[in-house]
Amino acid sequence: MIPADAQLVLVVDDEQPITRAISAALSARGYRADVATTGQQALEKAAGQSPAAIILDLGLPDVDGIEVLRRIRDWSDVPVIVLTADGAEDRMIRALDDGAEDYITKPFSTPELLARLRVVLRHHHHGATTDVNEPIIEVGDVCIDIPHHTVTAAGDAVELTPKEFSFLSLLARHAGKVLTHRMILQQVWGPDYGTESEYLRVYASQLRKKLREDPARPRLVTEPGVGYRLIDRDADQADQPTR
């Protein structure tokens, strides 16, 4: 018996085998699950039930999944994981730009989806108890002192250029969340930028060197063709399923 106060996850997809499998997996892990098969149902249930998280397929029969996300973002910061078809990178990137926390591509493994759900719920809970404008941000063993423009990693001082500092600080403020290339470029370089992803490859490479990244356990993670995220490598990687 799942307790009434268990976290509710709203699963939005019109494919019954997928909703059945995800709902069963959620129930087995102690979550409550509810299902919406259309965008309109999703909006009504999201408003009426205040779920802890939403798993949202972008290919819905009535309202486009990205439009559903945008409408939810008008009034809620509930974490949303989007489901996308293989080859739909452009739509997935749009969803991330419009406020989705994470994505997973069909076909997917249920353990991986549950691992990503645990991560977004943990980061969302942490974000609700801290101020994103706080002067010191800690993500695992990375500590960023915003007013003094100083950074330490595993206790060691890290010397960064102003752009490197802005890049790292932006990722830290949204720890665990995928930030797209466009989002990072416009926030760090300015609104006239958005397609110069080669800038980010150079700066990410420099940051990894300065943070003395272990390639097997990175803090700064590349999402190929999408963007970057900064993680607490010990906490978040412990959640990832064994491949």
Domains by residue range for the chain, with CATH: 8-128 (3.40.50.2300), 136-236 (1.10.10.10)
**What's the pTM?**
0.81
36 Cβ partners below 8 Å, 6+ apart?
10, 11, 12, 42, 44, 45
Which pLDDT belongs to residue 238?
A: 56
Question: Residues 173-186: pLDDT tens digits?
Answer: 999 899 999 999 99
pLDDT tens figures, 7-32:
999 999 999 999 999 999 999 999 99
How high is the pLDDT of residue 44?
96
Cα 211–chain centre separation: 22
User: What pLDDT does residue 51 have?
Assistant: 96
Give the residues of the chain that fall short of pLDDT 70: 1, 126-133, 236-243
Say what the pLDDT of residue 241 is.
56
Within 8 A by CB and 6+ apart from 6, the residues are 30, 31, 32
